[in-house]
Each structure stands twice: as structure tokens, then as C-alpha cells.
Amino acid sequence: MDVSGASRLGQALQGARLSEPRTVRPSRVLPPDLLDALRNGPFETALDSALRASGLSLERIRHRLAERGVQISVTTLSYWRRGRSRPERPHSRQAVRLLEELLGVPTDGLVSLLGPRRPRGRWVNRDAAVLKTERLWREFESLPDLLAELDSTDDGLLRVAAHDHYELDARGAGARLTTRLTLKAARDGVDRCVVVLHGEDPDTALPEFADVRNARLGRLRSDNSVPLTVAELFLDRTLSEGGTTLIEYTLRFPETGRRAEECGRGFLSPALLYTLEVAFHPDAVPVRCWRSHRAAAVWRSVSAEPVWISAAGRAHTVFENPGPGFQSLHWEWH
């Protein structure tokens, strides 16, 4: 499934699974932010919260791991904490289990957030599922029912790459979104792509499909109280496992929409590349812009980096190997 988005747009969906942390007697009362991070992830947020709650320095952690026979550098611990790398090798995962003990985290509290090991090698083999739709869209209770009306919660497509080009009007509201997706079939007999569109204002109509290429528009199901719409796009041909296709669609937004403050896309399993462009109108250019990542559609960001807005009023960012979670651009008006 795919979800394209701004605060009022949708975000990309793919079927996946994340195991729940097992609660084994914690050795101490954990602070609320750490408990929340252990429940919802991602791994780097939970590790950072556990380290801060422990009061231990990375050097002290390194020393205690070494006493247990596990050699992990301070740099590696810092990279794990900031999400720049993940514990993948058996040696590294052994260190994470010791970290749970040293930091007073319930058994498997951190390990379970890592999900299955990522296969090594070409991206075509990176189809491990790591996040459930319900976690990514935890605030939208009607979404499972809308998906069920289309007879599927998994369209069988992996998002290899995505490119979103979002245009705003002179009021700062969304005008058009053009999306290009590179898709790969995870099984035989895949014949459609499922798209979810989310709007933040129930009083404003959702965007409409103005153009679809290499596919045709099928059924639409909506919950106007959110508002939320699920659409199916039938592919030009049925794909066998490993088969690829490219599709493109353009969404046109109503002229009554309110000012947008975000545009982005969510991923449930790893992709190769996500490129996001935003074109502001010359009469409505924000004062600053930044990129961020968060674990769910309605959730706090776990990282933020400034993004340059050009003299022409354009901003863009490239996310390499995105997912799971939401990657987005945010901006602030005068």
C-alpha cells in the first residue's frame, strides 16, 4: 500500500510487522518517556531514552560491556543512539542484550525494536517487514475498515523508490502533488497499488486524482470525519514476484484548503530512495524549513535538520534507505 502526503496528504504504506517488546520484570520504575519509546520505537529513540534515564556516559557503558567480554566503541554506541547505524551482526545484538541489563530495560525491550536482521547485498533482497499498518496509522481507527472494504490490507508491492513534488498556492495551501513510484512485487499475481490520502481538515474536501499513468483508478472508500480516503490503482499488467513497474499520479487540492505546514511520506518497510520537493508560491514563502523523521503519522519527530529554501522558493531533501516511519519536510510561516 502507498500513502502520499502532507499534513493533509497521505503517506506510503507497505505491509509489515514489528514484534511487541515482552515485559519482563524491570529492575526499576521506568520514566514515562522511556516506556513510551519501548512501546512505539524506533530503536534509536528507545536507546537514547534509556541512556539518558541511566545517567551513564557512553564511555562508562563501553567499559562495562568490555568487562562482559563485548567490545563496542563509543563511536558505535553514539551511532546507534543517533540512528546513523543499527546493530545487525550477532556480536552487536549480543551487546544490545547486555545494554538492556546495564540500563535496567525489560528483557527484549530494545532487541524487539530491531526487528528481523536486514539481509545483506542488493536492495532487491531487502524486503523484510518491520512495521505494522496499525502502528504507522495508530491515530486513525477507521483505516482498517476502509482497507477491508477493498478486500486487502497488503497490496503486495514494495516501494523501491518514491518521488513527491508538492506545489503550494499564493495562500500557502496545497495545490498539486505529483508522485512517482518505483514498485516491486513481493509475490505473484500483484495487479494493483493501494493509496491512502489523509486530510487534516474535515471541512475541506480531499484532493482528487487529476492524472494517473501506467495504472487506472479503481474503487475509492472514504471517512469524511477524519478525513481519510483509500484508493486502488490497477496496474497496466499483472506482476509476478520480483517484477517491477513505475506509476505516476497527480492530485489536485481544493482551493478552499488552509495553509499547509508539512509534506511527507511514510514507509513500513525499507525503500531505496525517497526524494521530496516542495515548490512555494512567490507570494507565500515560509521563513524556515527542516526535514524530520517520526515513528507514526501523528507523533513527535525524533530528528530534525534544517533545509535550505532557495531564492525561487523551493526546498528539497533526499532520504536514502528510508523507513520505517514517516519522512517529511516541515516549514514555519511568518
The DSSP code sequence of 270-322 is: --SEEEEEEE--TT---SEEEEEEESSSSS-EEEEEEEPPPTTSEEEEEEES-
pLDDT of res. 124 = 38
pLDDT of res. 27 = 46
pLDDT of res. 280 = 97
pLDDT of res. 184 = 93
CB-side neighbour CA atoms (13 Å) of 189 = 1
pLDDT of res. 4 = 52
The H-assigned helical ranges of the chain are 32-40, 43-54, 58-67, 74-82, 90-103, 111-114, 133-136, 143-149
Distant-in-sequence, close-in-space partners of 296: CB < 8 Å, separation ≥ 6:
40, 135, 136, 137, 138, 139, 325, 326
Spans of the chain below 70 pLDDT: 1-28, 115-140, 152-153, 200, 295-303
Q: List, by residue range, all CATH 1.10.260 domains of the chain.
A: 32-114
Q: List, by residue range, all CATH 2.60.40 domains of the chain.
A: 2-16+128-332
| Cα 92 to Cα 141: distance, rounded to the nearest angstrom | 37
Q: Which of 290, 232, 296 is nearest to 263 (CA)?
A: 290
pLDDT of res. 16 = 33
Check the CA dihedral 126-128-132-133 and report its sign.
positive
Find out if CATH 3.30.2000 is the number for domain 32-114: no
pLDDT of res. 21 = 38
Assigned CATH topology for domain 2-16+128-332: Immunoglobulin-like (2.60.40)
**Which neighbouring-strand residues pair with 314?**
279
pLDDT of res. 151 = 76
